[in-house]
Amino acid sequence: MKTQDVVRILKRHEAEIRARGVRHVAIFGSTARGAARADSDIDLLVSVPPERKFSLIDQASLKELVADFIGREVDLLIEEDLRPRLRAAVERDRVEVF
């Protein structure tokens, strides 16, 4: 799936994603680099307000929601929880969605 297709789908569902407590969404990884294969998952980075408790159940629910929108498996990272080494890797490929 092309980067612009994923961005377009996520933007179309922005209100539903934000309703889950998400402030910002970006993609990274092979899809963001334009190197995704037919079986590639979507790597999603989300930001949530610091006062929002984003539980594992919230994360699983959001992953399922986005996977349904896109028709692909989704890996989800919370931006506020990234450690420096992983943050650097994510930032190399990061494509902002909203």
φ, ψ at 31 (rounded to 5°): -65, -45
How far apart are the two ends of the chain, measured CA to CA in Å?
19
Q: How far apart are CA 96 and CA 64, in angstroms?
A: 20
Q: How far apart are CA 65 and CA 10, in angstroms?
A: 11
Q: Is 93 a catalytic residue?
A: no
Q: Could you tell me the two tokens for 16?
A: 């539903």
Q: Which of 43, 58, 75, 93 is catalytic?
A: 43
Q: How far apart are CA 25 and CA 8, in angstroms?
A: 12
Q: Which of 41, 58, 75, 93 is catalytic?
A: 41
Q: Is 43 a catalytic residue?
A: yes
- As annotated, the active-site residues are 41, 43
